[in-house]
Chains A and B, each alone.
Chain A
Amino acid sequence: MTIKTLDTVVLEHPLFAALTPRQAQIVAGCASNVVFDEGEAIFKSGDKADTFYLLRHGQVAVDLHAGERGALTIDTLGQGDLLGWSWLIPPYRWQFDARALELVRAVAFDGACLRGKIEHDHDLGYQLYVRFSRVLLERLQTTRLRLVDVYGNN
Chain B
Amino acid sequence: MATTEVHTEPHVHGALLPRPFTVERRVRETHDTWSLTLEPVHGGRIAPEPGQFTMLYLPGVGEVPISVSGGCAGGSLVHTIRAVGAVTQALCALQPGQVVGVRGPYGNAWPLPEGSDIVVVAGGIGLAPLRPAIERILENRTRYGDVTLVYGSRTPDDILFRRELERWRGRLDFKVGVTVDAAPAEWRGSVGLVTKPIPRLPFDPDATTALVCGPEIMIRFVAEALMERDLPAEQIAVSMERNMRCGVGLCGHCQLGPTLICRDGPVYTYAEAGPWMEVREL
- Interface-located stretch among A42-50, A69-77, A118-126: A69-77
Q: Which of A70, A73, A149, A150 is within 8 Å of B191, CB to CB?
A: A73
- A interface residues, how many (CB within 8 angstroms): 23
Q: Known contacts A146-B193, A150-B123; is A72 also within 8 Å of B183 by CB? A: yes
Q: List CB contacts (< 8 Å) of A98-154 with chain B.
A: 101, 142, 145-146, 148-153
Q: Does any Cβ of A come within 8 Å of B185's Cβ?
A: yes
Q: Does any Cβ of A come within 8 Å of B158's Cβ?
A: yes
Contacts of B190 in A (CB 8 A): 59, 76, 78
Q: Does any Cβ of A come within 8 Å of B52's Cβ?
A: no
Cβ-Cβ contact count across A and B, 8 Å cutoff: 75
Contacts of B120 in A (CB 8 A): none
Q: Does any Cβ of A come within 8 Å of B181's Cβ?
A: yes
Asked if A76 contacts B191 (CB within 8 A), the reply is: yes
- Interface-located stretch among B88-96, B137-145, B212-220: B212-220
A107 → chain B closest CB, angstroms: 18
A59 → chain B closest CB, angstroms: 8
- In the complex, residue of chain B having the shortest beta-carbon distance to the beta carbon of A139: B192
Which of A75, A101, A146, A153 gathers the greatest number of chain B CB atoms within 10 Å? A153
Q: Known contacts A72-B182, A73-B183; is A101 also within 8 Å of B188 by CB? A: yes
- B interface residues, how many (CB within 8 angstroms): 30
B241 → chain A closest CB, angstroms: 10
The distance in angstroms between the C-alpha atoms of A101 and B152, with both chains bound, is: 20
- In the complex, residue of chain A having the shortest beta-carbon distance to the beta carbon of B214: A151
Q: Which of A59, A61, A75, A150 is within 8 Å of B218, CB to CB?
A: A150
A56 → chain B closest CB, angstroms: 14
B44 → chain A closest CB, angstroms: 34
A4 → chain B closest CB, angstroms: 19
Asked if A150 contacts B182 (CB within 8 A), the reply is: no
Contacts of A145 in B (CB 8 A): 193, 217, 221
- In the complex, residue of chain B having the shortest beta-carbon distance to the beta carbon of A150: B218
Contacts of B153 in A (CB 8 A): 151
Q: Known contacts A73-B191, A74-B191; is A151 also within 8 Å of B123 by CB? A: yes
B128 → chain A closest CB, angstroms: 12
The distance in angstroms between the C-alpha atoms of A92 and B181, with both chains bound, is: 27
Q: Mark B6-44, 1 if CB is under 8 A from A, else 0.
A: 000000000000000000000000001000000000000
Binding site for B on A (CB under 8 A): 59, 61-63, 70-76, 78, 80, 101, 142, 145-146, 148-153
**What are the 5 closest A-B residue pairs judged by CB atoms, nearest first?**
A151-B124, A71-B185, A152-B215, A150-B218, A142-B193
16 A-B pairs whose Cβ atoms sit less than 8 Å apart in the complex: A61-B191, A62-B191, A73-B191, A74-B191, A75-B192, A76-B190, A142-B193, A142-B196, A148-B217, A150-B193, A150-B218, A151-B124, A151-B153, A151-B158, A151-B194, A152-B125
Using A145-B193, A148-B217 as known contacts, list a sample of 11 further A-B pairs with CB atoms less than 8 Å apart, ordered by residue number in A: A73-B182, A73-B184, A74-B182, A75-B192, A76-B189, A78-B190, A150-B217, A150-B218, A151-B126, A151-B194, A152-B215
Binding site for A on B (CB under 8 A): 32, 123-126, 152-154, 158, 181-185, 187-196, 200, 214-215, 217-218, 221
